[in-house]
A and B are shown apart, each in its own frame.
Chain A
């Protein structure tokens, strides 16, 4: 895989380079860039398979690089030291990212995933989605990208009835009796969707309060959904769930 590394700090570039050389022999570094315009030039010149993109680059961001590109037919791994908003958007788009200092296992995982991805269109559409989301203020984000086995589904949040954990996978129950299996843990989605009002009723249940019909007192508390499904509420979550439902 031909890769370009983009970071405004030389030491970070050096670091990533040495890590890749040591642990990911399948990756060939064809270029590095330390600012946005160099990065755009390099990508357009070399058409890489993979781009390691730092989000925070001085006064500019890695997203600026993406915005200036005409075609984005490469896989991308975001790298960031600390950028809450950026990472949040990246997560909503189901894209891969690494945190500095770089964890070698995470690096291997991300590179492997990139290697597996053959259909780059998926990536392109995810990047489009990401850039769209970035245009909006954080609170207006209303869609999420769900990475399935062979496709990416873009789902509006109001479509999601509930999520249920299945080991490291997550089942999404959508309106219209659709069920999607996503290869990420419920915890990650809970972190993303809780700020959007979703209720973590149970270790393995995340519920969109829009679809809650009533609170049943049986068995210490159960949520009855409009669909007729019953979702358990675990003891430690009872109070917060109740409170949240009252505020609706």
Chain B
């Protein structure tokens, strides 16, 4: 027994010596899956060990790009039966050892950190560099549970997209359209009929290693991820190619998407790994999909945002319209007010235009009285003249009918002094002259016209009649003369009448509720002017 032990020890030492000679110092150990531990040189780096796959039971993948040789040991628990285990070692898929039982003589107790004591046996030194070593073990009592441990000493092959297929509905069912061997970028359009997209990868021995993800470029969001490679239907050189199929609904919007196919290796948190992102990129396949959707679909959040934005803009537009409307109305109102004011001003200026020709002639008439020594008359007319000018200068908008009557009396008497005609001012009994008001100087221009163009030449034969009458709710004012008349169609009516037309228009624009209507009737035996103030009383 001692001899055996000695032999074993010396074997190990001899091995160590051999290894030392090769410059290998088996210093670090790493779990590699399948009950196995691996010892590598202490300087070995980038050990991406024990990568396992949810869809590939009992498989562990070790990516060892920098390891030249490794010593592999298998550890059995107390409950295991090492005598039932068989192992096969493949180098680049070619068997080196096939179905060999564990050398039970080699088994020795080992402590694996815990208190539990294992029994370990070695598979010897395995060359890794530029090789793919696969160790397959199984218990002959459970031949289905095959454990596979892969030592990958080569660069992991970059996956290749062999093609796309788009499924669409037809009358009979579905059909596919194909794009094979795409370059870096593929344009795809999804219509209503299209429903599914299939991405086909090239075949490799380690398909399970890869996973596919799709990223939306705009948001950087991963919208799809799968390791579920399927086989069947699509083949190349009598081999089924792995593919992944998914519904088009993962694409919510038109735009660019990136397909990323990469090995599922824990790049981070591994032992002594310092593979840069750039280095890792060597193992990653990227492909851009330019998607055009005939029907964009939106997430709830987006819909909410869009709805909100639309509602907001509609609201805003509404507000703007409201604002401008208000502004315009305000301006219109202001304009109206202004127009009214202007009209009032104009009316004022027209009103105060008591014909200067009349004024100075009237004064001349008074001068005549003075020169004729008719002092009493001169006084009388001078005070009439004063009262008349005062009334005119008095910028009252409205005066009572009796005031207007006085004004006309004064005016007509002054004119009488010049032309010596007769006049009358009548009013109907039911008219309260002191209470009813009319715009001041309303009748004067018509009366002046009657005097000037009607009866000035007729002297004492001339007659002017003014009436104020109530007709229902209307106030009707008339000025009649027995002059030679004038052609109502001709616009030549003297200053007074020409202004009157404008005045009536102005009055109508100021007193909107009451309509002023002017009727002129002129014949060779006289002129009758009738001014109706509708609904005035």
With A11-B418, A12-B364, A101-B366 already in contact, the answer to whether A18 and B359 are too (CB < 8 A) is no
Query: Which B residues are CB-close (under 8 A) to A100?
Result: 360-361, 363-364, 367
Query: Which A residues are CB-close (under 8 A) to B359?
Result: 81-82
Check if B453 sits within 8 Å of A81, measured CB to CB: no
Query: Which B residues are CB-close (under 8 A) to A102?
Result: 364, 367
Check if B371 sits within 8 Å of A18, measured CB to CB: yes
Interface size on B, residues (CB 8 A): 23
CA distance A83 to B356 in the complex (A): 9
Check if A9 sits within 8 Å of B366, measured CB to CB: no
Query: Which B residues are CB-close (under 8 A) to A22?
Result: 371
Check if A14 sits within 8 Å of B368, measured CB to CB: yes
Is chain B's binding surface mostly helix, strand, loop or mixed?
A: helix
With A14-B372, A101-B363 already in contact, the answer to whether A9 and B357 are too (CB < 8 A) is no
CA distance A12 to B372 in the complex (A): 12
B496 at interface by CB-CB < 8 Å: no
A75 at interface by CB-CB < 8 Å: no
Chain B: which residue is nearest A9 at the CB level? B418
CA distance A19 to B371 in the complex (A): 7
Chain B: which residue is nearest A19 at the CB level? B371
- Tell me the number of A-to-B contacts counted with CB atoms below 8 Å: 63
Query: Which B residues are CB-close (under 8 A) to A14?
Result: 368, 371-372
B515 at interface by CB-CB < 8 Å: no
Query: Which A residues are CB-close (under 8 A) to B356?
Result: 81-82
Check if B420 sits within 8 Å of A10, measured CB to CB: yes
Check if B357 sits within 8 Å of A58, measured CB to CB: no
Instruction: List A1-28 residues whose CB lies under 8 Å from chain B.
Output: 8-12, 14-15, 18-19, 22
With A15-B371, A56-B357 already in contact, the answer to whether A101 and B364 are too (CB < 8 A) is yes
Chain B: which residue is nearest A15 at the CB level? B368
CA distance A9 to B420 in the complex (A): 10
A-B contact pairs, 30 of them (CB 8 A): A9-B361, A9-B364, A9-B365, A9-B418, A9-B419, A11-B418, A12-B361, A12-B365, A14-B371, A14-B372, A15-B365, A15-B371, A22-B371, A35-B457, A56-B357, A58-B452, A58-B457, A59-B453, A81-B356, A81-B359, A81-B360, A82-B357, A83-B357, A99-B360, A100-B361, A100-B363, A100-B367, A101-B363, A101-B367, A102-B364
Question: Interface residues, chain B, CB within 8 Å of chain A?
Answer: 356-361, 363-368, 371-372, 417-420, 452-453, 456-457, 459
| A-B pairs, 4 with minimum CB distance | A15-B368, A81-B360, A100-B364, A82-B356
